[in-house]
């Protein structure tokens, strides 16, 4: 099926966004920070490193499955279908959303994205109060918010994430979107290569390991954010720790902004790839 003018316009936007990924130039501080983290982590015994990354992978897999099977996610799926029926009353399943135009799907996806960016902002602000309970729950909570928004964007573009291939792909999209900016171009290329070479979309045949030393920067940033909140939590104005709350809210919002933008571009491309065939 030929792409419409709307489709071509979105494809051009994706290609321009791709070029920004590929042309990103890290500064000296980023290189120094990366080398410091890698050197620090390399001091750990190799078996400890492998166990750490394996535990992190298992945690992500289980968290993804828990979110996907939750009542909250099923309710969100129904809301997506309800929004889709505004444009086409005959929609029955998630797969039927493929019949909508890309601008209609983008409108529905933007609703999900805006909602989850707000959740992330609010959650970060709550963690920024410095409460031990809220600060301790910050990393699991932000992981849930961002994994969930990736799943919902996928569903908006007609893709169920309950098959081995789609579950692994959504996790790889999440993983790629949380990498440092200097590494995202390579991760995007890998996603595109897998998409171009894939013949069927049920079983996953690629690399299943996600967490490695290149990804350690994101957890490190979360720990640094927690440390900053801890330091500034007693700097209050009329009893409210505005500085630490701003740190938490801003950091979490920016992370969800990056994740949702990356995931949206990927699933828009998937929609166009399916519509046009493998000639994109």
Secondary structure letter of residue 240 according to DSSP: B
H-helix segments, 25-101: 28-42, 46-68, 71-85
pLDDT at 274: 85
224-268 pLDDT per residue, tens: 888 898 888 888 777 788 899 999 999 999 999 999 999 999 999
Residue 279: pLDDT band (50, 70, 90) is: very low
Residue 212: pLDDT band (50, 70, 90) is: confident
> In the predicted model, what is the mean pLDDT of the chain?
87
87-134 pLDDT per residue, tens: 999 999 999 999 999 999 999 999 999 999 999 999 999 998 888 888
- Give the three-class secondary structure for 159: coil
Give 276 or 191, the one with higher predicted confidence: 191
Calculate mean pLDDT across residues 33-40: 77
Calculate mean pLDDT across residues 55-64: 88
pLDDT at 39: 79
Query: Measured between alpha carbons, how far is 272 from 26 in angstroms, rounded to an integer?
Result: 31
C-alpha of 248 from chain center: 18
pLDDT at 130: 80
Beta bridge partners of 240: 237
């Amino acid at each position: 099926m030929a792409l419409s003018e709307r489709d071509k316009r979105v494809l051009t936007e994706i290609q321009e966004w791709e070029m920004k990924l590929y042309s990103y130039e890290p500064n000296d501080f980023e290189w120094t920070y990366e080398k410091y983290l890698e050197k620090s982590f390399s001091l750990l015994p190799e078996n400890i490193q492998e166990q750490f990354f394996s535990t992190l992978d298992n945690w992500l897999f289980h968290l993804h499955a828990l979110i996907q099977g939750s009542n909250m996610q099923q309710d969100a799926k129904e809301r997506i279908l309800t929004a889709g029926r505004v444009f086409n009353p005959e929609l029955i399943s998630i797969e039927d959303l493929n019949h909508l135009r890309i601008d209609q799907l983008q409108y529905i996806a933007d609703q999900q994205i805006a909602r989850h960016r707000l959740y992330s902002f609010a959650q970060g602000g709550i963690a920024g109060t410095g409460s031990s309970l809220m600060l301790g729950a910050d990393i699991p909570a932000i992981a849930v918010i961002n994994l969930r928004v990736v799943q919902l964007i996928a569903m908006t573009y007609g893709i169920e994430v309950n098959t081995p291939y789609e579950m692994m792909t959504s996790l790889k999209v999440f993983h790629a979107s949380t990498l440092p900016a200097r590494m995202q171009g390579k991760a995007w290329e890998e996603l595109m290569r897998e998409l171009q070479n894939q013949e069927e979309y049920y079983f996953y045949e690629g690399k299943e390991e996600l967490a490695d030393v290149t990804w350690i920067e994101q957890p490190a940033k979360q720990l640094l954010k927690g440390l900053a909140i801890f330091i500034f939590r007693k700097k209050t104005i009329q009893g409210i720790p505005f500085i630490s709350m701003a740190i938490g809210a801003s950091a979490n919002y920016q992370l969800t902004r990056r994740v949702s933008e990356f995931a949206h571009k990927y699933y828009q491309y998937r929609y166009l790839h399916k519509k046009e065939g493998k000639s994109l």
